[in-house]
Structure 1
Amino acid sequence: MTLDAGPLASQAAEAATAAAAKAGVLVVDEHDRERLRDVEGLLISIWGMSPHGAPVPYDLLRSISHAGCNVSAAYDRAGRLCGAAVGIVTPGGTATYSLIAGVLPGTGDRGVGFALKQHQRAWSLARGIESMTWTFDPLVSRNARFNLTKLGAVASEYARDFYGAMLDDINANDESDRLVAHWPLVSERSVQASRGLPGEVEFDPRTRVKVLEYGPDQQPGLFQADGGLWCRAPEDIVLMRATDPGQAGQWRSHLRGILESSLASGYLATGVTRSGWYRLSLTDPS
C-alpha cells in the first residue's frame, strides 16, 4: 500500500532522528570541505584503494554536495566520523540513486547504517522524491537482509557483472553481479520499517521437502514452498573470497543462475532471513 508522501516527510524526519539517537550518532548533510575529505578517508578505510583510486574521490564528493545532492555523514558522541552515504538525484527528480553507504569497521551492529538510510529517506521525501534505488552484491547476505528486510526494499532486476572487475579489498577480484534494490519510501512496509518494525521473514528448511537445487556445499540451496521460492546465500562470502576463492566463484555462478532466471520470470526478492535465505515472491509486499 502506498501512502501520501506529504505527511510522510514529517514522519520520515522523526524516524531518522529516532534512528540516529538509538545509534548514538548525529547524521547531517555534509558540505564542509575538510569534512568531505574525511568522508573520502572513511570510504577508503572500508573498501580500500583500487587501481582506480578511492571508492568515491574527494573532488567528486565535493561536486555532489555542491550540486545539491546528498552526502550524509554520521558522527558519534565524540564527534568522530563513523559512517557516510552518498546519493544523487535521477533525471526529472523521480528517485534518489544511492551511490555508496558504509560504516566504520567495528560499528556495524550499532544501527549507524540504518540511521544513515533513514536520513536519506527523510532527505528524499523533503524534496518530493518517493523512491530510492541502489545496487548490492547478492552474495553478501548480511547486506541483503538489511536492504530487503530491515529497510523494506525489493529487488526485481539482476545485473550481471555490473561494474566489471572489482579490485577493492572487499570484492577481491570477484565478478560484480548486483541486485538492483528499489525502496518505495512511502509504502506502508517502509514506514513500519522506519519505526523499527521490519517485516521479518522466517524459513526453516527442515520442514520443506521440495528441494529444487543444491548449493556448492552440497546442501539444499533452493526450495519451492509457500507459493514462492527460497534460495540460500553463503554465510560469509567476504571471508570465503579470502580463504577459498574457488568456492566463492562457485557460489557466484550458483546464485546467479537462480536469481537471474527467477527475477526474469517475474519473481521479486522481497526479504532475507537471518540465516541468509532469500524469499522470492510473485507478489510485491510493499
Structure 2
Amino acid sequence: MRFQVITDVGGIARVSAYYAEVWDATEDVLSSETLHCIRHAGGATIGAFDGDELIGATTGLFCPDGSVYSMIAAARPGAGHPLKLAQKDWAAGLGAKSMRWTYDPLVARNARFNLVKLGAVVTEYTPDFYGPMRDGVNDGDESDRLTVQWDLTGAREPHESVPGGEVTKIAPDGEPLARTDGERIWCRVPRDVVQVRKESRELAKQWRVAVREVFVDAFAEGYAATSMSREGWYELERL
C-alpha cells in the first residue's frame, strides 16, 4: 500500500469519481473543479493505492487557526487507518497541531474508528449540518453530524467503553438508550444504521431524534464523547 498527494488532472478526476461511487451519488460529492481549488489553496487530496488501484482517498484544507479540516475520507477495509495517518503526517509536516472533521453520530463503526482507533474526542453536535442530502447513503435522513477533534501532537490514550449505571432513556427498539452513573453518560446507537434505514426509514428517524436529544443535552452540560464500545455505546465524560 502506498500513499500519494494527488495533483494531476487525471488523478483528481479519478478521486472525484471514487467519492461519487462510495457515496452512491448521481452527482459529484466533490467535483474535480472543487478538488483542484482545494489543492491550489494549499490543501491536499491524498490517495491510497494497492499497485495502481485506488483503494482510498481523503481531502483536507487548512483553516485560519492553523489546524486542518478533513472534508472527506473513504477507504477499503484495512486502508482507513493508514490513510488517516498519512493525512496526519502531511498536516503535521506543514505545522498543523490538530485536525477536525464531522461524521454521522449514528454510524457506530465510524465512531469507534475515530474515538478508539485514533484517540480523538467529540465536543460538538450539529443537527442537520448539511441540510438535505441526495446521495444513496444519506438520502431521506437529516444530516446531523458530530465534530471530531484530533490532537496531532500527542494522542489521547483510548479506552474501551463499558456502559453502566441507571437507565435514563429508552431507545426506539425498546432497549436502553441512555445510562448514567452520575459522572459519565452512555448513549447507544444502532449496530448498523445503514441496515436500519433500508428496513424502516421511520425507525431510523426515531433513532436520529432520540440520540440527538441525549447528545445536545450532554454537550450543553460540558460533556465530550471519548469512547465507543463494540456493542454501540458512546461514553461521554467531562474532560
TM exceeding 0.5 = yes
Q: Which amino acid aligns with 1:74?
A: A
Q: Is the 8 A contact 1:157 1:264 kept in 2?
A: no
Residue 205 of structure 2 aligns with which residue?
249
Q: Which amino acid aligns with 2:63?
A: T
Q: Which amino acid aligns with 1:83?
A: G
Residue 193 of structure 2 aligns with which residue?
237
Instruction: Tell me whether 1:45 sits opposite 2:21 in the alignment.
Output: yes
Moved over 4 A (4+): none
Q: Which amino acid aligns with 2:30?
A: V
Residue 19 of structure 1 aligns with which residue?
none
Residue 84 of structure 1 aligns with which residue?
57
Residue 100 of structure 1 aligns with which residue?
72
Q: Percent identity?
A: 38
Partner residue of 1:144 out of 87, 108, 111: 111
Instruction: Tell me whether 1:199 sits opposite 2:158 in the alignment.
Output: yes
Residue 224 of structure 1 aligns with which residue?
180
Instruction: Tell me whether 1:182 sits opposite 2:149 in the alignment.
Output: yes
CA RMSD of aligned residues (A): 1.4
Moved more, 25-34 or 244-253: 25-34
Greater strand content: 2
Q: Is the 8 A contact 1:160 1:176 kept in 2?
A: yes
Classify 1:264/1:63 alpha carbon distance in 2 versus 1 (closer, same or farther; 3 Å).
same
Q: Is the 8 A contact 1:29 1:71 kept in 2?
A: yes
SS at match of 1:91: coil
Return the offset for 1:226: 7.4
Q: Which amino acid aligns with 1:200?
A: H
The count of residues paired between Structure 1 and Structure 2 equals: 239
SS at match of 2:11: helix
TM (norm. structure 2) is 0.96
Return the offset for 1:209: 4.8
Q: Which amino acid aligns with 2:202?
A: G
Q: Is the 8 A contact 2:177 2:187 kept in 1?
A: yes
Q: Which amino acid aligns with 1:99?
A: M
Q: Which amino acid aligns with 1:70?
A: A
Return the offset for 1:60: 1.0
Kindly provide the CA deviation profile for residues 242-283 of structure 1, in whole angstroms up to 9, marking residues without a partner as x: 221010000000000000110111000011111111010012
Residue 215 of structure 1 aligns with which residue?
171
Q: Is the 8 A contact 1:27 1:75 kept in 2?
A: yes
Greater helix content: 1
Partner residue of 1:54 out of 28, 47, 56: 28
Q: Which amino acid aligns with 2:17?
A: G
Return the offset for 1:32: 1.6
Partner residue of 1:72 out of 37, 40, 46: 46
Q: Is the 8 A contact 2:19 2:30 kept in 1?
A: yes
User: Quick one: distance in 2 between partners of 1:73 and 1:213?
Assistant: 42
User: Quick one: distance in 2 between partners of 1:80 and 1:271?
Assistant: 33
Residue 3 of structure 1 aligns with which residue?
none
User: Quick one: distance in 2 between partners of 1:209 and 1:272?
Assistant: 16
Partner residue of 1:259 out of 210, 215, 224: 215
Instruction: Tell me whether 1:156 sits opposite 2:123 in the alignment.
Output: yes
